Amino acid sequence: MTAPLGGRVALVAGATRGAGRGTAVALGEAGATVYCTGRSTRGRRSEYDRPETIEETAELVTAAGGAGIAVAVDHLDPHAVEALIQRIDAEQGRLDLLVNDIWGGENLIEWDVPLWEHDLAGGLRMLRLGIETHLTTSHFALKLLTRTPGGLVVEMTDGTREYNASHYRLSVFYDLAKTAALRLAFTQGHELAKVGGTAVALTPGWMRSEMMLEHFGVTEENWRDAAAVQPHFAAISESPRFVGRAVAALAADPEVHRRNAGSFSSGGLAKDYGFTDVDGSQPDCWRYMAEIQDLGLPPDPAGYR
């Protein structure tokens, strides 16, 4: 079978771990050439001080069937981002897909701490990591992506537009960073429509990232054992590959522009496109959150995966 994204060039900005890595690998499954950027390399760790590296991500992309290319980039550095786009142009002559997944703010979140008590420096850095990086990357990348019609931008966030509009998300700073990504998809979609491009916002559900698995003391092989600690996680969580397959489905959709400026979830798009998570399920986390978890009901994934 022909790979649906064969010959397509993607940039996954923030591909070291989590949704970024899952997206890069899923695009590799679909045959894409994927530039995988981040700050953690085999020679140098970022402030996260975690073992995942962009080289590992690129190797996983290639093993999945695509072509993974690791490039160390701090997306707060405009010169580094500009050099990255110049390199993609020189090597590929095109850019078909930009996934703005840059984040890196988990260790800065102070859960349910009010604005006047939250560490100001940490909160402001969250905004730089979650908003300034996306703006800087799009500023340079869209000059290449819009060279030909049909380019797609995916703004990765946490929560759908509908859910976030009616729910407080951890802290003022975190809430603002994730809501801003939703608005970035809307505004970029408005501008890209004029040149034949598309932008959407996309959220995973309760994702089994490397950090989340460690937090619950489980692995991807035995994640259901987390039920004793957090039963809702064991009921509805999804692998990072699931949201990545949502990106791949969007990129392969010849009519994706009908979704321009919209907000979507991995679970919602799975119903539309028919892809599944690595275990064959289709977890619909945000519907589960609203109808089960937020109402204080006991965990019950029946009808939600």
What is residue 2's predicted lDDT score, i.e. its pLDDT?
74
What is residue 49's predicted lDDT score, i.e. its pLDDT?
86
The model's pLDDT over 168-226, given as tens digits with 9 standing for 90+, comes to: 999 999 999 999 999 999 999 999 999 999 999 999 999 999 999 999 999 999 999 99
Kindly tell me if the per-residue pLDDT of 8 is higher than 70.
yes
Residue 236: inside a domain: no
Query: What amino acid is encoded at 253 in this protein?
Result: D
Residue 134: inside a domain: yes
Work out the pLDDT band at 48, boundaries 50, 70, 90.
confident
What is residue 258's predicted lDDT score, i.e. its pLDDT?
98
What is residue 1's predicted lDDT score, i.e. its pLDDT?
57
Based on the structure, what is the number of domains in the chain? 1
User: By residue range, what is the domain housing residue 32?
Assistant: 9-214+241-286
Q: Say what the pTM is.
A: 0.96
> pLDDT > 70: what percent of the chain?
100
> CA 151 from chain center: how many Å?
17
d(CA 46, CA 165) in angstroms, rounded, equals 33
CATH number at residue 278: 3.40.50.720
The model's pLDDT over 205-220, given as tens digits with 9 standing for 90+, comes to: 999 999 999 999 999 9
Residue 37: inside a domain: yes
> pLDDT > 90: what percent of the chain?
95
Residue 56: inside a domain: yes
Residue 296: inside a domain: no
Residue 256: inside a domain: yes
Work out the pLDDT band at 38, boundaries 50, 70, 90.
very high
**Helices 54-64 and 18-29, axial angle in degrees (round to 10):** 30
Residue 83: inside a domain: yes
Residue 291: inside a domain: no
**Which residues are CB-neighbours of 114 under 8 A, at least 6 positions away?**
172
